[in-house]
């Protein structure tokens, strides 16, 4: 892959200004992502640790999703598409509110993990995911290699995972489930580095315009992408590291 340096071609005071602005931008991305993550796990724990609330989404006897459970399961995916299509028409404040609403719905969709896995294994998997995410994101931010070429293949991989997961809901193959989990970890690990570099390069490309409204929405979209990378990597790792109740 080619050498990649988004700020190196800019020199002097302007480079220092862009670098300072980039740090502030990335802090906002990670901060927004972290708030969304806390909201997700708070909602997930509130529902997942309460059998009566969880029964609204899943059958208490078979633990399979009911109609509402399936709606909640696929709602985050639909919200991502809506967000991508509507963000240009939203204000930065509306986009941020939408992101937090998305994070809450995601919490409902993964709430079952608190009934299916031990709390210790969930905490351990979260810690492992956090360490891996931090390392991968740091690599994406600091590397001089252009990771854009791998983006198309990774996105195609995500589409393949979604299709395979839906198909396996009807087949119920443990081998396919294992393969999906392995590929899921690898794909979202790659996307973490790719998305971080993309957030950085997009900021540098638009920094000269000083469009604060665009920068605000870009930070929220960046937070959403990294949030999805983290959550998916966590859920796939939980299949390996989680201990069933």
Instruction: For residue 92, tell me if it sits in a domain.
Output: yes
Please tell me the pTM assigned to this model.
Answer: 0.88
pLDDT of residue 238: 94
Q: Which of 114, 132, 65 is nearest to 242 (CA)?
A: 114
Instruction: For residue 171, tell me if it sits in a domain.
Output: yes
Torsion of CA 186, 188, 194, 198, to 10 degrees: 170
Domain that holds residue 137: 12-241
Instruction: For residue 6, tell me if it sits in a domain.
Output: no
Q: Say if CB 123 and CB 244 are below 8 A apart.
A: no
Q: Say if CB 189 and CB 233 are below 8 A apart.
A: yes
**Count of structural domains within the chain:** 1
- Cα–Cα distances in Å, from 1 out to 139, 145, 147, 150, 194? 15, 6, 8, 10, 13
Instruction: For residue 191, tell me if it sits in a domain.
Output: yes
Instruction: For residue 3, tell me if it sits in a domain.
Output: no
Q: Using one digit for the tens of pLDDT, what is the confidence trace for 190-242?
A: 999 999 999 998 888 777 666 677 788 899 999 999 999 999 999 999 998 87
Instruction: For residue 7, tell me if it sits in a domain.
Output: no
């Amino acid at each position: 892959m080619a050498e990649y340096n988004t700020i190196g071609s800019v020199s002097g005071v302007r480079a220092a200004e862009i670098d300072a602005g980039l740090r502030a931008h990335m802090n906002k991305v990670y901060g927004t992502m972290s708030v969304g993550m806390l909201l997700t796990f708070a909602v997930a724990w509130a529902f997942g640790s309460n059998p009566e609330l969880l029964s609204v989404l899943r059958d208490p006897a078979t633990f399979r999703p009911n109609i509402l459970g399936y709606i909640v399961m696929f709602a985050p995916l639909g919200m991502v598409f809506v967000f991508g299509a509507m963000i240009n028409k939203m204000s930065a404040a509306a986009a941020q509110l939408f992101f937090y609403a998305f994070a809450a719905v995601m919490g409902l969709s993964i709430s079952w993990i608190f009934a299916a896995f031990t709390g210790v294994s969930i905490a351990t998997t979260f810690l492992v995911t956090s360490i891996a995410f931090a390392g991968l994101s740091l690599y994406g931010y600091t590397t001089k290699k252009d990771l854009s070429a791998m983006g198309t293949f990774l996105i195609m991989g995500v589409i393949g995972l979604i299709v395979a997961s839906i198909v396996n809901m009807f087949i119920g193959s443990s081998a396919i489930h294992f393969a999906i989990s392995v590929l899921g970890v690898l794909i979202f690990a790659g996307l973490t580095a790719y998305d971080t570099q993309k957030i950085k390069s997009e900021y540098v490309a638009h920094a000269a315009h000083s469009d604060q409204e665009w920068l605000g929405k870009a930070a929220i979209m960046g937070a959403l992408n990294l949030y999805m990378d983290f959550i998916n990597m966590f859920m796939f790792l939980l299949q390996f590291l989680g201990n069933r109740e």
